[in-house]
Amino acid sequence: MIVCVCNNVSDRKIRQAVENGATTLFELRAQLNVGTCCGKCHSCAKEVLRDALTNSTTEQAMVMCGALAA
């Protein structure tokens, strides 16, 4: 799932960044440029980050981001 359209950042890239040590949205921004253009992806990026930190599934993040119906 693409989280940040402006910078073509997927949930997979965010999860990889977390596996490599990122723990904050600030760190994701520095590494992936997520949310550095229009900013519409902030809440979704936060949800995916939180889920990656708690090891929940991509499907759960997609539901939270509105990509899937609950």
Among 8, 23, 24, 37, binds ligand FES (CB under 6 A): 37
Among 1, 6, 25, 67, binds ligand FES (CB under 6 A): 6
* Cβ proximity of 21 and 52 under 8 Å: no
Among 23, 30, 40, 59, binds ligand FES (CB under 6 A): 40
| Minimum distance of ligand FES from residue 31's CB (angstroms) | 14
Q: In 10 A of CB 46, how many CB atoms?
A: 19
If one asks whether residue 30 binds ligand FES (CB under 6 A), the answer comes out as no
- With tokens 């253009």, the residue in question is 37
* Cβ proximity of 34 and 14 under 8 Å: yes
